[in-house]
Amino acid sequence: MVCISPAEKSDIGFFKTRRTGQREGSGIILKQESMQTENLGEPLRQMRDYYDSGATRSYAFRRQQLLALRQAVLSSEQQISIALHSDLGKSPEEVYGTETGLLLAEISTALKHLRDWMHPVTVATNLVNLPSRSKIFRDPLGVVLIIAPWNYPFQLALIPLVGAIAAGNCAVVKPSELSPATSALMEKIISSIYAPQYVRVLTGEGAVLVPALMQSFRFDHVFYTGSIAVGKAVYKLAAPELVPVTLELGGKSPVVIEADANLAVAARRIALGKFLNCGQTCIAPDYLLVHETVKDRFLNMLQDTIRQFFGEDPAASYSYGKIINEKQFDRLLGYLSMGRVVFGGGYDRTRRYFAPTLIDQVALDSPLMTEEIFGPLLPVFGFSRTDEALDLIRRNPNPLAFYLFTASRQTEKQWIEALAFGGGCVNNTSWHFANDHLPFGGIAYSGTGAYHGKYTFDLFSHAKPVMKTPTWIDPSIRYPPFEGKLKWFRRLIK
């Protein structure tokens, strides 16, 4: 979800960044101007008061809010598709498969399991504390802030919100100004179903609005999806008040294709994972490492697959979108000179069209291999030995995702144990994100914390342990004087 070298300032965490391939999150990259906004403190204090009233705590209330969100999304499907087509050129099918459908599935999961998630869990009690009983209660955190990016602007804002609601919180959602149609629609939907003291969407320039929010109010948790550079800025904003932060970031997510892989299947699954949303996906394959014995054959298959998916002219394809804005387009255009284009390479700035592109002979120290690409360019490398491939991957450690294509369980085990990564797939790409039984998140530079399904509920709640001790027995061994009791302590405490 890499390789930015920000010249950090000593102020509240804002800095200029050089051109990067990363998401700009909610547009927080980044201003040095003084930040003048309307007074946000009072509306946020109203949210705190509402939370403190206990109104959000009951099962009935939480369930009602989830049902309201589901109905609002279902009623707005056409408008959602129109907004996402305007921002990113997505077809209705892609909108449902990667945005609306995932959100609806998340809501369904929460509704199905909410009562169990809320119920206190009885756990074991150790010998020294018997006959006490121990339980873990799940408390909401309070008022949380969700900062969303532009690449999947609907579901990456509202899937975290589902977990925040299910856990009993109030929430502020800050969508990206770089996807204005979707952000405006989201604000309209949320304001139509929720009181502003419960859930509100705040739109505006992230570089101004997010610092103003975090400096005027202590949130109980901040959930940020976007680039490493902006993630660092958000972390710095949170640090003075020790606000816990979840960071869903990015990285250089590699694909390894071993000699024994099913090449035809690999070509389809890699092409889908890479070129969906024009490559503007945090877990999209960022580069390929193909075993030399099958490299040429695989590249031919991959080119044929791209033609099957998007036709000879992807610019005219119903299934192929567009780059979010001219700034991102120009960044991608700069990459074309950093290697040899073996397929694709076409573009049209006026339509923000950039063709699916395969590129080789890329220098490992070029920006194409030190920055997250976040677009439809796919560098390809060959390898003969596993250690060669490992060395290349470790130049950009801790990717958000890792993908492996092989028929060998031993090879699978070797690769999974050798690399640290956020999550991934064997013989697939990207779709682990859609499995709400799996935690989704990064490691080190690709993020902190994980969510989806129950993991989102847990993220937005506090595990509150409580031990209840009966009074009908009160052994004197627990109390002073302790002289002569050491042997009993040794037996009980171990």
Core vs surface per residue 62-95: b (16+ CB within 10 A) or e: bbebbeebbeebeebeeebbbbbbebbbbbbebb
Q: How far apart are CA 110 and CA 38, in angstroms?
A: 35
Contacts of 314 (CB under 8 A, 6+ apart): 306, 320, 353, 355, 356
The token pair at 361 is: 């002979």
* Phi, psi (deg, nearest 5) at residue 180: -65, -35
Q: Is 282 a catalytic residue?
A: yes
Please identify which of the residues 24, 248, 371, 372 carries the catalytic annotation.
248
CB atoms within 10 A of CB 120: 11
Please identify which of the residues 170, 278, 282, 425 carries the catalytic annotation.
282
- The residue assigned the tokens 């003075």 is 240
Q: Is 170 a catalytic residue?
A: no
CB atoms within 10 A of CB 291: 21
* Phi, psi (deg, nearest 5) at residue 291: -60, 135
Using DSSP, state whether 461 is helix, strand or coil: strand
Class of residue 269 by CB neighbours under 10 A (exposed 0-12, middle 13-18, buried 19+): buried
CB atoms within 10 A of CB 232: 18
Pairing of strands 143-147, 440-441: unpaired
Indicate which residues carry an active-site annotation.
248, 282
